[in-house]
Structure 1
Amino acid sequence: MLAEAVGVALVLAVALGLSTRELPEEYDWATFRRAQGRVWLLGAGVLGWVVAVEGAGLASLNHPPVVGFAWSAALAFVAVGVTGIATGLVMRRAGHGIDPATRALLELPKSRAFVLVVSTGVAEELVFRGFVLTRVAALTGSEVAAVAVSAVGFAASRAAGLKRAQVAQVAVLGVAIAAAFAYTGNLLAVMVARAGYDTLTTLSTDPADVPNE
């Protein structure tokens, strides 16, 4: 239990550290790759911690599935999609645009943007849902607390350069993803749903149609 608590604390500390990092003046492919490398370094650290410190197998990153993969993925996709659309409409109505990093991502060649959003999404789900959520649920006995903590960590890791409303949007989306995982217990299905949603929104959004911050 102590190892799990320390592991969660370290992940949240790293997420908080990422939220305060200095942002580049301009974004390019190399900048995005470095950012993606930081996320995967965190994911590799989680995997190493699970095996070396907790003495657990990688299966410990996933709750026992309670429903089939296809149904889990569909349910998670709907949860993420509905939440993403709803929060996006609220942000537009409130006059909030997209941050410079997101705009630069949308202006990348579609193949590069696809690689970035899918691989980053997989790493984030591994860390914040597969590791943080399951550990907090085990430590507290409360899935509500686990969903909340994982969503806060997820939002913190994305907070650098965002306005408060944008951080809140990420947090709400994090709650939806975490709740889908807590309900289905199928991490792979949630990864697929997240990758599908991120791919659709990235490939279908024209940055010219979205206002700036």
Structure 2
Amino acid sequence: MDLAVLDERDFFTALQENNRQTFLKMIEKYESYIAPIMRTQGFKRINQKERTVIFSFGEMTFSRSRWKKGDIIRIPVDEKLGLKPRARFSQELLYQLTTLSNFMPYRKVVSVMELLKNIYITKNSVQRALETAGGLLKERDEYRVLAVPEEKKRIKPEILYVEGDGVWVKQSHPKTETKSVELSHFVVHTGSKRGKGMF
């Protein structure tokens, strides 16, 4: 400690290094935790591969184990981190990039990420991130369409009311024979409850 004024940039760099060390320790602990579980499920460790991913807290390079059982290959660390195969960005960073790109041009997104988080990306990276996010949204929508809809609870009322109303509207269209058309609408309901102070 000394009496010098705190240099926030140096302090931020030190914090980022601490975050990196903490992240790598977390990966190491998870590898130790998951290894016996994978072995009991019949998987064998193939090798360890290195991967670089940009997270919302910075760019991280880490190595993780690959496991194989028959034709199935799993990478538990990637599953834990929610990373898609060959993805360069984390899901949270994708969210932040897409949110920022709604408010500013891609080049400005690059400047903001560099200034605030020391994350160095290009405008093309932002565009690719948006395309990836768009693909994920499309997958989610397709999943919603294919999902089994929930059964709605049916009401069996004693009395069912059907109200209808209509009006004849004159039309002046030369191709139609009729001079007017009926517009109508119907409402089906179970009635209303009369409460205190209501008419």
In the superposition, the TM-score normalised over structure 1's length comes to: 0.25
Q: Which has the higher strand share?
A: 2
The structure with more radius of gyration: 2
Q: Which has the higher helix share?
A: 1
Q: RCO greater where, 1 or 2, for CA within 8 Å and sep 6 or more?
A: 1
In the superposition, the TM-score normalised over structure 2's length comes to: 0.26
